[in-house]
Amino acid sequence: MSSNNPFSRVFHTLAFTGALISGLTMAGATAAADLRFAADWAFQGPQAPFLLPHENGCYDKAGLDVVTDRGFGSGDTITKVSTGAYDVGFADINAMLEFNTRNPDDALIAIFVIYDGSPLSIITRKDTGVTRPSDLVGKSIAAPPGDASRRLFGLLAKANDFDENDVDWKSVSPELRESTLARKQADAIAGHAFTGYIGAKAAGVPEDQLVVMRYAENGVPLYGSSLVTRPAFAEEHPEALTRFIGCVAQAFMESARDPEGTIEVLAKKDPLTDKAVEQERLQLSLDWSVATPWVVEHGMSQVDPKRLADTTGGAARALGIAVPNPDDVYTDAYLPDHETLTWTVQ
């Protein structure tokens, strides 16, 4: 296959990942394992890496029979995993905290943190004069009432020494959020950084006029979306989860090495994919949330216990729920070997 063919780069992944997942394959696995996985949203750029292990054969080599479905938001994915409709989901760890408090008998646990940097953000236009979070005082911000960036805004305000009540919130539906910013009906919007950024451009805000203030870069180092599962399922299927995590980790690294090839795989699933837009969305998610300086230095899901305790405690207080025990939020018990998680993109 010609090296100019984008699919050749994807299939070439086998040569790279084969050695790294050798310890996760059928050696130590007596039979193929079935696993039902739900993403957090529709298949767009940030979700495209979850399609790669099907395409490059990693799941087959690992003895896994995986069904991968789209999601309808973190909250929906969490609910479906808790009921057993899915075995593993990709969902925001902070949404999981709240769900666990409200549903202690159906509590989930995170087993692999993918978004080391939360994508929560405030996005504005340069003509508002807002260049830092404290400039939001006296400004209007549009977002759906349940949006995580809105609900956790108090953490951003506290970290930047201003009163969270000194802003004017405008409630809008998700589909109107970016157009509200473009039409200057609000000074800013709250939402996921890469989604809001792409959406605002599509709504007509010139790229050079956008200002993105990510919580992670402004004093709020929350962890973000992770693989979540039921503790009972994890205890019953530890080897399958370890092999699954290994394939997912390698898929995200392959996406960083070859984002164009990853989007070609996405386009095979959805021929209507706007490849340029989704490649940009994928790249932003990798740059802003996945391949953080911490991950590049330490590897994927090498969670800092102090950071986990501090940020989950802060999120819990902001959400008005009990502060959880960090051991009930995340476990590294199902991670593959460190070599598999070492961020390698060359």
Q: Using an 8 Å Cβ cutoff, are 80 and 86 in contact? A: yes
Q: Which domains does the chain have, with CATH numbers?
A: 6-117+223-341 (3.40.190.10), 120-217 (3.40.190.10)
pLDDT tens figures, 258-270: 999 999 999 999 9
Neighbours of 250 (CB within 10 A): 27
Name beta bridge partners: 221.
none
pTM for the predicted model, two decimal places: 0.90
Given a cut of 60, whether residue 216 has pLDDT beyond it is yes
Q: Sign of the CA dihedral 178, 48, 24, 30? A: positive
Q: Using an 8 Å Cβ cutoff, are 180 and 186 in contact? A: yes
Helix then strand then coil, in percent of the chain rounded to 5, is: 55, 15, 30
Segment 222-230 mean pLDDT: 98
* pLDDT value, residue 345: 86
Q: Sign of the CA dihedral 62, 63, 67, 73? A: negative
Given a cut of 60, whether residue 122 has pLDDT beyond it is yes
pLDDT tens figures, 299-339: 999 999 999 999 999 999 999 999 999 999 999 999 999 99
Show the 3-state SS of the chain.
CCCCCHHHHHHCHHHHHHHHCHHHCCCCCCCCEEEEEECCCCCCHHHHHHHHHHHHCHHHHCCEEEEEECCCCHHHHHHHHHHCCCCEEEEEHHHHHHHHHHCHHHCCEEEEECCCCCCEEEEEEHHHCCCCHHHHCCCEEEECCCCHHHHCHHHHHHHCCCCHHHCEEEECCHHHHHHHHHCCCCCEEEEEHHHHHHHHHHHCCCHHHEEEEEHHHCCCCCCCEEEEECHHHHHHCHHHHHHHHHHHHHHHHHHHHCHHHHHHHHHHHCCCCCHHHHHHHHHHHHHHHHCCHHHHHHCCCCCCHHHHHHHHHHHHHHHCCCCCCHHHCECCCCCCCHHHHCCCCC
Unique residue bearing structure tokens 């961020």 = 343
pLDDT tens figures, 65-111: 999 999 999 999 999 999 999 999 999 999 999 999 999 999 999 99
Residues 6+ apart with CB under 8 A from 319: 94, 97, 98, 151, 152
Amino acid, single-letter form, for residue 322: A
